[in-house]
Amino acid sequence: MAKKSGRGKSWYPGSVDLLLDITVDVLPLGKNGWEKVERRFNRLAEPKLLPIRDADALKRKFLLLKNHAKPTGDPDCP
């Protein structure tokens, strides 16, 4: 059977919050750091019935959030 390609599971707000909490504690700098984030994330996500993620997916999501531009808002609003 061929590997299924396409999109992965969606990110729930609880998953994003968990990822951000863990990255604040671990402060991953390299591959070993992201593997530590992966182990902790999957250990804490399983009881909450959140999808299990690999280190690359966690790093991609973190970098996507980090590089996302903040909205400027309405300049005329006081």
Parse the chain into domains and list their residue ranges.
13-66
Distance CA 57, CA 46 (A): 16
The Cα angle at residue 59 between residues 54 and 69, in degrees rounded to 5? 145
pLDDT digits (tens, 9 = 90+) for 9-63: 799 999 999 999 999 999 999 999 999 999 999 999 999 999 999 999 999 999 9
Instruction: Report residue 16: phi and psi, to 5°.
Output: -65, -45
What's the CA gap between 46 and 6, in Å, rounded?
Answer: 23
The amino acid that residue 8 corresponds to is: G
pTM for this predicted structure: 0.81
